[in-house]
Amino acid sequence: MTEKSKQAKNRRGQREVKISDHITGAEYANMMQVMYTREEFRLMFAHIFEPSGKVVGKVTTTPAHFKRMLNAMQESLERYEKENGSIQDIDSRNDSKIGFE
């Protein structure tokens, strides 16, 4: 794509998104922890495989963007369940506790 076509594309409201070189693929997470302050939300994703776990990603964002993320996830979940059927929620109280030291 030429620089001119990139500029024309950007004028139409589309954005070019670059992926950092250190991001090679996806990480699997089966646990997420959410923390917040007045100014930001922090999400920590981990892969728990008994008897241990590994943090695989962290995201910090603004409260307004966090809310937009929740709305987008809710819409995606609704579309998924419409296409694939209802997802049965599990009782997380039966999960074993894993601490991070």
pLDDT in tens, 32-52: 999 999 999 999 999 999 889
- Quick check: is 89 in a domain? no
pLDDT confidence of residue 101: 45
| pTM over the 0.85 mark | no
- Quick check: is 42 in a domain? yes
Contact (CB, 8 A) for 28 and 41: no
- Quick check: is 40 in a domain? yes
**Which has the closest alpha carbon to 70: 26, 82, 62, 13?**
62
Least confident range of 27-41, 42-56, 67-81, 83-97: 83-97
- Quick check: is 19 in a domain? no
- Quick check: is 65 in a domain? yes
- Quick check: is 90 in a domain? no
- Quick check: is 7 in a domain? no
Number of domains in the chain: 1
> Could you tell me the residue range of the domain that residue 44 belongs to?
26-84
Over residues 65-75, mean pLDDT:
97
- Quick check: is 21 in a domain? no
Over residues 4-30, mean pLDDT:
75
